[in-house]
Structure 1
Amino acid sequence: MTERSHAPRVVPEGLRAFLATETGSTSVLLVATLAGLVWANSPWGDTYDTFWHTTLAVEFGARSFDLDLEHWVNDGLMALFFFVVGLEIWREIKVGQLRDRRLVAVPLVAALGGMALPALIYYVINAGGPGASGWGIPMASDTAFVLGLLAVLGARCPAPLRVFLLTLAVADDVGAILVVAVFYTEKLNWTALLIALLLIALIVAMRWIRLWRGPAYVVLGFGLWVATVESGIHPTLAGLLLGITVAVYAPKDRQLLEAGEAVQALTRDPTPEQAREVQRSVQQAVSVNDRLQLLLHPWTSYVIVPVFAVANAGVQLDGATLRAAASSPVTHGVVLGLVVGKFVGITAGTWLPLRLKWGELPGNLQWGQVLGGAATSGIGFTVSLFITGLAFRDDPALQSQAKIGILTGSTVSALLGWLIFRLAWNKGGACAPPDAERSDSPPEPMPPITAADHTRGPADAPVTLVEYGDYECPYCGQAEEILHELRSRYGDRLRVVFRHFPLREIHPHAFPAALVAEDAADAGKFWEMHEVLFANQLALTDADLTRYAEEMGVRPWGDVPGHLARVDGVRDGGARAGVEGTPTFFVNGVLHEGSYDVESLGEAVEAALRAAPEPHPGNDGFSGQCEIRRNE
């Protein structure tokens, strides 16, 4: 059989929401980057530096606090960005993926490899030179750009790979912030540092005594940021520390029950007092961490990071600058660090803990997918530009060379990742449930084709190709293109049947998608819905499914009990016939043991055509069927 992936865990809804925001902001970030480049290279390019070096001061009586606009963005707004990063890190540690040590071990070691090797490559190239201090530039990946590229790849990048890369990105962000705090701090103001530590202690104490007053935290947080700026340590560390002090917890049954009762009371007696009680009980059911992420994450993704990109990506790309970059060890170090260092470091950092059995990959990912993820992780932008400004704050020429290296290395890494995914995807694969659910008993014959089956092609076709699939399986998405080509090649000699085999254990939205497909079948639109579901494999939430049905004129969730029984029955029949994963194919009732590319399936169809008897009504379960109710 082809390779199979075993993934007993699913992607949490909170993580899916985070991924959706990250990937959705990628286009905005890309536009902002291009805007910064165009502005800096336009006839008005001299206004770029003039604008971002304009001083903005905040005065408190006789005292004033002033920074230029670039530093307000890099030191102020980016502290809020890293605050959100801290929120996500703390949430993953407490209730998310980072609770499972076996799932954390591999991406953590991979992140270390992906930080250490790029830094080493850069330093070897620049040792003893004026650019030696920029070794931290190629260390960090840009989560938004990486996940945005993976979204473009669609079904070629399964959800477990996104979990792996997001966990890796969390560790990567922590490492980058520590590097900034420890190695890019020029001098310390011990008085300001002591004040910062006292403010952190006060915030922790307020949390310990369960004093939840938002304005108090805002005031203390702002004070911590000012103290950190004055201390000499980069204020992004303050944002991260604040993020991990925010309470996070999974909703408790008692809290959910109280919220539900409050809502019911409001429907019976809609008074202002009841409305306030509903608001209080609902808020208590959701942690402060989750509420802040919902509030702030769109702002950081769609406003703060794009503004940062405009303020930092503006490098002049004239002939002299490009010639200097082409021969600069700084540019060479950044490009090789991002392209080679990230790829080799993450790959080796993934292989080592797996070899030593320290942990496991989510979903037992294929190595081709891991290599593609390692390559795309070489897209370094936000933090790389951030460290560039710190490492070469007094040398604009080195800043330009490093920025050109970042843009070049990130582009090459994106292309390399895309190429690897294309090559790895062509090898095929399959999704399978946990080993514990597999049966050791001999398989039964495949259930015969009935009027309830979903078929394409004439009932008397000499060859029937049955697929057991699931709408969230990326490999089933690949198989759709292959089946279309086979139907075009063999015409009326081939009948294709699709049977549901949703893997609830690893594809949480596959079963609801199957139910909506059955709703469409009741309206005579199964294959139209079938195409829509496979075209939107990354958007199969209940809301998405409802929208697809309504746009098609289908009533969603119309006969849930009946459709549940049908889908479960089809799945059970497939399991008894030896189906263990998706996609699985039967050719004229015989399990297809080979790969499912066009050549392999085509050979199986050709063999079945040669062995097929002359069409005769009622000959067997695969030819001579009467008109199929759901035939296309």
Structure 2
Amino acid sequence: MRSALRRTFLRRPSTLAERNFVADALRTETVGGALLLIAAVVALIWANSGWSNSYEDLKNYHLGPESLHLNLSLGSWASDGLLAVFFFVAGIELKRELVVGELRSPSAAALPVIAAVCGMAMPALFYFAVNAGGDNLDGWAIPTATDIAFALAVLAVIGTNLPSALRAFLLTLAVVDDLLAILVIAVFYTDQVKFWALGVAVAGLVVFYLLQRYRVRGWWFYVPLALVIWVLVHESGVHATVAGVAMGLLMRVLPDKDEEASPAEHLEHVVRPISAGIAVPVFALFSAGVAVSATALGDVFTHRMPLGIVLGLVLGKAIGIFGGTYLAARFTRAELNEDLAWADVLGLAMLAGVGFTVSLLISELAFDTDPGMTDQAKAAVLTGSLLAALGAAVLLRIRNNRYRALIDAEDRDDDGDGIPDIYQEDARRAHDAKLKQAPKGFGGTSGD
């Protein structure tokens, strides 16, 4: 009776369509992560070369209409504009998870949500513990974010595969993490708010929702409206990336009978490659260029602020996600997938310590009046992300043979019908279980 009441934690996606969606989404993020790594390396080399002045000149080059208060530097356009595209995709992902994904059921949502919350709270606690009594507490949110693209790029580089159950959990964890990160930015890194601009932006979001609600099609309606909403949110003083996630959450994710794909699914296929392949790498190019020297690296481990970031990413993330997941599984009577082990959860928790994109963004927001502190925080983000990636790589690589066997089993199609046999077996078991639960004598013999 006890085992019957338990549900499986880290189970593979229940349908083939869900499995394919996760695989496609992470495949795009992996390619984007490779471009992200390249952009970060280029930025570091450029900023530490004899042409470092040209890097700073390009980053600080201003353009845009002054009348709209949009005469911004290229670095600001990357963080405020291009990252809005990144968060738009994150908003669509979250909406999809809430409607048809892992977050649609409160019981299923409990584990990834608790894991994400603990995975943000524990790094912040590490940061506060190291910086207690100091003047740099504004940086507490820097180590709380996870960069799934960078993390997947690390897995691709070391040749580690993840079975669908781990990939789905990682994607869901990252989606919740992105939402929490944008909430942190909106609440804690907004100094002054122009309520008239924010109010008009909200009105624009209502129009956006109504266009979706009444099935209005045509990019010529949505693109101008999206630009207006973004400009208004930027003018309001709230970070402009909030506009992206808000519009993503308003997208319709369920297709109508006459639609092959929902607007959210269609737009995600269009925008995700732009986000992963252009927006995030360009942001990295303008943000990752910090001066690196033996002295600077030494400062990371001897100054409290950067040390808090490194410890938060390397230890805080791992302890928070693993501990939160373990305790939540015990209290919700969830049973770990028999094909996996808690070491796999620890590997994912360590991988989540790769906090590149959003951590760099928060570094700029937390110390916007002190470029020296910003660069020190960014150096800590790069160092902590690298250490977390190396630790996760070692642990996940050890389990790689097991992962490869699970993936082979998931892909096996002995009858050649294009549907993996394991999903057909699941369907048969579900059908047999349904028949056993049906009252005897109903729609058949009484069994006498």
TM-score for the superposition, normalised by structure 1: 0.61
What is the alpha-carbon distance in structure 2 between the residues aligned to residue 251 and residue 15 of structure 1? 22
Counterpart residue number, 1:475: 405
> For 1:213 and 1:358, how far apart are their aligned partners in 2?
47
Report the Cα distance in structure 2 between the residues aligned to 1:234 and 1:63, rounded to whole angstroms.
Answer: 16
Residue of structure 1 equivalent to 2:199: 194
Taking structure 1 as reference, are residues 542 and 331 closer, same or farther at Cα in structure 2, changes over 3 Å only?
A: farther
Deviations 1:518-565 (A, max 9, x none): xxxxxxxxxxxxxxxxxxxxxxx969x9xxxxxxxxxxxxxxxxxx9x
- Please point out which of 270, 279, 299 is paired with 2:274: 299
Alpha-carbon distance change, 84 to 92 in structure 1, aligned in 2, over 3 angstroms: same
Aligned partner letter, 1:186: D
Cα separation, 2, equivalents of 1:330 and 1:416: 22
Contact 1:7 1:364 in 2 (8 A): no
Aligned partner of 2:373 among 374, 394, 398: 398
Shift, 1:359, TM fit: 4.9
- Kindly indicate which of the two structures has a greater share of residues assigned to helix: 2
Pairing of 1:500-539 with structure 2 (within 5 A): 507=410, 509-511=411-413, 514=414
Q: Does the aligned pair in 2 maintain the 1:388–1:403 contact within 8 Å?
A: yes
Is residue 118–residue 138 contact of structure 1 (8 Å, CA) maintained in 2? yes
**8 Å contact from structure 1 (residues 131, 398) kept in 2:** no
Q: Which residue of 1 aligns with 2:440?
A: none
**Matched residue, 1:163:** 168
Quick one: distance in 2 between partners of 1:7 and 1:196?
40
1:21/1:298 contact within 8 Å kept? yes
- How far 1:198 moved relative to its partner? 1.3
What is the aligned partner in structure 2 of residue 370 from structure 1? Answer: 345
Which letter maps to 2:387?
V
Contact between 1:160 and 1:365, CA under 8 Å: does it hold in 2? no
CA contact (8 A) 1:347 1:370 kept: yes
Name the residue aligned to 2:245. Answer: 240
Shift of residue 401, structure 1, vs aligned partner: 1.3
Compared CA separation, residues 208 and 251, structure 1 to 2 (3 A): closer
Residue 330 of structure 1 pairs with residue 305 of structure 2:
yes
> Does the CA-based 8 Å contact 1:248-1:290 persist in structure 2?
yes
* 2:30 paired with 1:23: yes
Equivalent in the alignment of 1:119: 124
1:90 corresponds to which of 85, 88, 95: 95
Q: Does 1:56 find its partner at 2:63?
A: yes
**How many Å apart are 1:321 and its aligned residue?**
2.9
Deviation at 1:23, TM superposition (A): 1.1
Deviations 1:217-266 (CA, angstroms, capped at 9, x unpaired)? 211111111111111000111100001111111564xx3xxxxxxxxxxx
Contact 2:37 2:153 in 1 (8 A): no
* Cα distance in structure 1, aligned partners of 2:329 and 2:406: 28
**Pairs aligned (count):** 413
Residue of structure 2 in register with 1:412 after alignment: 387
One-letter identity of the residue aligned with 1:157 = L
Contact 1:177 1:237 in 2 (8 A): yes
Tell me if the contact between 1:90 and 1:244 (Cα under 8 Å) persists in the aligned partners. Answer: yes
- Shift of the 476–52 alpha-carbon distance from structure 1 to 2, 3 Å rule, reads closer
Task: Give the superposition deviation at 1:102.
Answer: 3.1
The one-letter code sitting in structure 2 at the alignment partner of 1:97 is: E
1:64/1:126 CA distance change after superposition, 3 Å: closer
Report if aligned partners of 1:102, 1:358 keep a CA contact under 8 Å in 2.
no
Say if 2:49 is the partner of 1:34: no
Asked whether the 8 Å contact 2:13–2:164 carries over to 1, the reply is: no
Q: What does the per-residue CA deviation read over 1:442-478, in whole Å, with 9 as the maximum and x for residues that have no partner?
A: xxxxxxxxxxxxxxxxxxxxxxxxxxxxxxx73368x
- What is the one-letter code of the residue matched to 1:510? R
Residues 8/69 of structure 1: CA separation in 2 closer, same or farther (3 Å cut):
closer
1:153-232 equivalences under 5 Å are 157-232=162-237
What is the deviation of 1:421?
Answer: 2.2
Residue 318 of structure 1: CA displacement? 2.9
Query: Structure 2 matches for 1:106-145, cutoff 5 A?
Result: 106-145=111-150
Tell me which amino acid in the other structure corresponds to 2:362. I
CA RMSD in angstroms comes to: 2.7
Structure with max Cα Rg: 1
The Cα shift of 1:103 comes to 2.8
Q: Which amino acid aligns with 2:173?
A: L
CA contact (8 A) 2:19 2:164 kept: no
Within the candidate set 312, 317, 320, 1:342 is matched to: 317
Q: Distance in 2 between matches of 1:476 and 1:405?
A: 36
Matched residue type, 2:73? D
Shift of 1:308: 0.5
C-alpha spacing 1:363/1:31, structure 2 compared with 1 (3 Å) = farther
Task: Flag the 1:6–1:376 CA change in 2: closer, same or farther, 3 A.
Answer: closer
- Alignment correspondent of 1:386: 361
Alpha-carbon shift at residue 132 of structure 1 (Å)? 1.1
1:552: which partner in 2? none
Distance across 2 between alignment mates of 1:346 and 1:183: 23
Gaps of 5+ in 2: 1-9, 426-448
Displacement after TM superposition at 1:149 (Å):
2.8
Q: In structure 2, what is the Cα distance between the partners aligned to 1:314 and 1:117?
A: 28
The worse-fitting range, judged by mean Cα deviation, of 146-155 and 344-353 is 146-155
The one-letter amino acid paired with 1:223 is V
Shift of 1:131: 1.9
Q: CA deviation at 1:7?
A: 4.9
Q: CA-to-partner distance for each residue in 1:94-113, whole Å, 9 max, x for gaps?
A: 22232243332111101011
Are the equivalent residues in 1 in contact too, given 2:86–2:279 (CA < 8 A)? yes
Q: Write out per-residue CA displacement over residues 72-97 of structure 1, whole angstroms, 9 at most, x where no aligned residue.
A: 11101111111111111112222223
Determine which structure has greater relative contact order: mean sequence separation of CA pairs < 8 Å that are 6+ residues apart, divided by chain length.
Answer: 2
Matched position secondary structure for 1:378: coil
